[in-house]
Structure 1
Amino acid sequence: MEKIVAETARAVSFLSRLPAPDRFFPEDAVPAAQSARTYPLAGVIVALPAAALLFLLLSIGLDALFASALAVAVQVLTTGALHEDGLADCADGFGGGRDRDRVLAIMKDSSIGAYGCLAVVFSLLLRVAGVAAIASATHALPAALALIAVAVVSRTAMVWHWHVLPAAKPDGVAASAGQPDSEAAGFAMVAGALLGGLLSLPAAGIGGAITALLLAAILCSGFVRMTSRRIHGHTGDTIGATQQICEIVSLLGLALWV
């Protein structure tokens, strides 16, 4: 249990701006990839501030759309826009690069282009709309739990993307973080499916939970194939983009059943 707690703390620190005690970061700490099995648990913690705000605002009768927009804004602030940055870089690289080297070069550039800007805008719009659709059709607590559920599912998808593809660049940040092994990936898949499914039930029932998980699996697999074809491996940006894509489709899956 102590090991799980330590790995979860490191995962939360890696995935967000939430502070974690220094005792969880010894000098001989293992690479970041070894904490990947706890990403579903970290997803719960990372989403808690946004979910708590959503619950509070809906409980006092604030409009669902306004409450959802504020909750998504808190989510972005909590993560430091880490995943949005990855989505933007992937959109610019895949949209503007004709070959592998050019795609990777564009993704490494810190500036944002038209593809990246549009990708982030659409991501925010779709996530706000998805949360609002759920919030307007159910009550405060199920809506807040649904927000946590999609955070869990999308971060579980990150682990799968990270596990099945090799590092696209041997000297990249993702390569230095290592790669989740089969045991870590398997643990994350089972934990993420169970936790994400259970948290989805109050808002969308068993049908919504299954639909959300299936859509996330399908889109994650499709993005893995596209990434493998375009750059022959993963980067930190493609891992982040996986989170954004799977959060959107998970929200869609739940919204279809509320």
Structure 2
Amino acid sequence: MPNATDFIADLARSVAFLSRVPVPDRFFRDHDGSISRVVRAFPLAGLLIALPSALVVYGLAEIGDALVASLLALALMTLITGALHEDGLADAADGLGGGRDGDHALLIMKDSRIGSYGVVALVLSFGLRAASLAALARADATLVAVSLLAAASVSRAMMIWHWSALPSARATGVAASAGAPQDTARNVALASGAFIGLALVASHLGIAAALFTLLLTAGAGSTFTRFVRRKLEGHTGDTIGATQQICEIVMLATLAIIA
């Protein structure tokens, strides 16, 4: 089926865009580099990228300390993604936290040096995610693996929401050059991310808990998007990455609290 073949190609390109996993060259032949349609596969790509870490935290939580298992799982995921989203979170925190206005914030975000806001954001990101995963692991080793996969998928769907809800804040840059998400691709990403998250969480905690978690995560992503709109009047690659981190943190923390 041509549609299935196209989606598989988009999935491979999504994995290449979101991680350092090597992808065969054949998926990029005759491709113009735009990811406007490719983003529809981001939620499924996020699940695949998080799968090794989910297996690690599941296996180690059964035989060892839950916090150590969680930190090792996060370390592996950071290696797989090349800290792509963490880098965006740190830069966005520095710019949005330290910028006097939109232009100053964008200038700070282009600086490769990390500031105090960025350091604090990274510490909180790893700390909150590790603590949440450890709490989930102590409750149920299967639940922590499922939660990590669900959060990886839903948070990457919310990236597309943020990306499509705002214009580009810069004329150049990774997000601007990659192209805006197509409406259909955005809808597929949101629907697939919601389905994956709902199915995985509901299978262990029930439909009510799953819906509550998804709504809270979506609310966090939407709130951050509104804040970025007021501050920058548009998105950047850094704010897109920060959206992923914020949504992943909120979803894992929520699951840890209600599990």
In the aligned structure 1, how far is the partner of 2:214 from the partner of 2:207? 11
- Counterpart residue number, 2:253: 252
- Counterpart residue number, 2:222: 221
Residue 21 of structure 1 pairs with residue 24 of structure 2: yes
- Counterpart residue number, 1:169: 170
- Counterpart residue number, 1:37: 40
SS of aligned partner of 2:21: coil
In the aligned structure 1, how far is the partner of 2:22 from the partner of 2:198? 28
In the aligned structure 1, how far is the partner of 2:215 from the partner of 2:75? 27
In the aligned structure 1, how far is the partner of 2:243 from the partner of 2:39? 14
Give the unaligned 5+ runs of structure 2.
none
**Per-residue deviation at 1:136?**
0.7
Superposed, which structure 2 residues align to 1:1-258 within 5 Å? 1-59=4-62, 61-138=63-140, 140-258=141-259
* TM-score (normalised: structure 1): 0.96
Contact 2:102 2:232 (C-alpha < 8 Å) held by counterparts: yes
Q: Percent identity?
A: 52
- Please give the per-residue CA displacement for 1:67-98, whole angstroms capped at 9, x wherever unaligned: 11111111111111110000000110011111
Contact 2:214 2:251 (C-alpha < 8 Å) held by counterparts: yes
- Please give the per-residue CA displacement for 1:24-80, whole angstroms capped at 9, x wherever unaligned: 111333502321111111011110110111121123x21111111111111111111
- Please give the per-residue CA displacement for 1:2-30, whole angstroms capped at 9, x wherever unaligned: 11110011001100111111111113335
Contact 1:154 1:247 (C-alpha < 8 Å) held by counterparts: yes
Contact 2:198 2:211 (C-alpha < 8 Å) held by counterparts: yes
Contact 1:87 1:241 (C-alpha < 8 Å) held by counterparts: yes
In the aligned structure 2, how far is the partner of 1:213 from the partner of 1:198? 11
Contact 1:212 1:252 (C-alpha < 8 Å) held by counterparts: no
Letter aligned with residue 91 of structure 2: D
SS of aligned partner of 1:256: helix
In the aligned structure 1, how far is the partner of 2:248 from the partner of 2:37? 23
In the aligned structure 2, how far is the partner of 1:96 from the partner of 1:163? 25
Give the unaligned 5+ runs of structure 1.
none
Contact 1:207 1:257 (C-alpha < 8 Å) held by counterparts: no
In the aligned structure 2, how far is the partner of 1:148 from the partner of 1:14? 18
Contact 1:54 1:68 (C-alpha < 8 Å) held by counterparts: yes
In the aligned structure 2, how far is the partner of 1:202 from the partner of 1:57? 22
Letter aligned with residue 58 of structure 2: F
Root-mean-square deviation (Å)? 1.1
Contact 2:147 2:201 (C-alpha < 8 Å) held by counterparts: yes
SS of aligned partner of 2:47: helix
SS of aligned partner of 1:174: helix
Letter aligned with residue 197 of structure 2: G
Contact 1:219 1:246 (C-alpha < 8 Å) held by counterparts: yes
**Per-residue deviation at 1:195?**
0.6
* TM-score (normalised: structure 2): 0.96
